[in-house]
Amino acid sequence: MVSSKKQQEVENLVNLMDSFNVIAVVNIENLPADSMQQMRTKLRKTVNIRVSKKSLITIAIDKSKKQNIKNLTEHLQGMPALIFTNDNPFLLFKTLKKNKSPAAAKPGQIAPQDIIVRAGPTPFAPGPIISELSSVGLPAGVEQGKVAIKTDKVIVQEGGIINEKVANILLKLGITPMEIGLDLVAAYEKGDIFTKKILDIDEKEYINNITKAARWAFNLSIEAAIPSKDTINILLGKAFRESKAVSLEAGIITKETVNDLLAKANAQAQTLRKFDQSAQ
């Protein structure tokens, strides 16, 4: 029999789900308690963070009346918690990401993304470290008296478990692949589920792509002579110049071409006069 306390918790979760536009799933498995409290304090003005048992969250999602929200269940990873907000999910992800700090990897942790060791020199002198690097799949050699990684290497793939050897090597190399903070896994908004990969966008690259697309669209409109408020003046100018060029070539007299045609005729007459004078 389900206790009244658990029933009340499910009811509270359902009410929150039905009250907010965005419901996000975060994984707090590796988040220290003091860091969790700091995040609550930082975000309390814009979000409501709710930590509950995975089974109760699942039941609440199933009871919610929101369209397609049941798809959020498959994203309950590790030690899940819920964030409720009316902010845009992309803005929420950006805020959570900005409040994360790098941390060393510990044995048994899951890689949040591919952990890559880049090629290049290390601070180590030749010795046992070469075999230690090789034991975790890192191709190492000696360059200018120092141990160097020969090529870039993915040492742990996203979702893979970091073993003790890898954790020790990463620590020695000063690589901190983990992050302390709220790890947003997925967010629900108006029937759509946005995963971490969708929400984690490079803003500069995104703006550059939009700028590039606008430039390409503009050039295509000019080449295809598609009139719009952005192209009409250029198209009219281009059409005028082309029609004037045709008129000049055909000797068609208009108010726009008469001066040019007279100048052209005068130049030709001068040329003929000079030719006649030289012939005499």
Instruction: Render pLDDT for 245-254 as a digit per residue (tens, 0 to 9).
Output: 777 777 788 8
Asked whether residue 263 carries a pLDDT value surpassing 50, the answer given is: yes
- What share of the chain has pLDDT > 90, as a percent? 36
- Quote the pLDDT of residue 242: 80
Region 246-267 average pLDDT: 78
- Quote the pLDDT of residue 279: 60
| Amino acid at the residue 174 | G
Distance CA 62, CA 14 (A): 9
For the sheet containing 120-121, what is the strand order? 120-121, 146-149, 140-143
Annotate 204-266 with three-state secondary structure: HHHHHHHHHHHHHHHHHHHHCCCCCCCCHHHHHHHHHHHHHHHHHHHCCCCCCCHHHHHHHHH
pLDDT tier at 1, thresholds 50, 70, 90: very low
* Domains annotated on the chain, with CATH: 4-100+181-200 (3.30.70.1730), 115-178 (3.90.105.20), 208-279 (no CATH)
- Quote the pLDDT of residue 4: 87
Q: In the predicted model, what is the mean pLDDT of the chain? A: 86
Q: Which residue has the higher pLDDT, 203 or 155?
A: 155
CB 9 within 8 A of CB 63: no
Least confident of 138-147, 177-186, 195-204, 237-246: 237-246
- Three-state secondary-structure class, residue 129: helix
Distance CA 182, CA 78 (A): 12
Q: Tokens 């952005």 label which residue?
A: 230
pLDDT in tens, 118-177: 999 998 998 889 889 999 999 988 988 889 999 999 999 988 999 999 999 999 999 999
Q: How many CB atoms neighbour CB 14 within 10 A? A: 18
Give the up-direction half-sphere exposure of residue 259: CA atoms within 13 A in the CB hemisphere: 2
> Could you give the C-alpha distances from 47 to 12, 180, 205, 248, in angstroms and in order?
16, 19, 28, 70
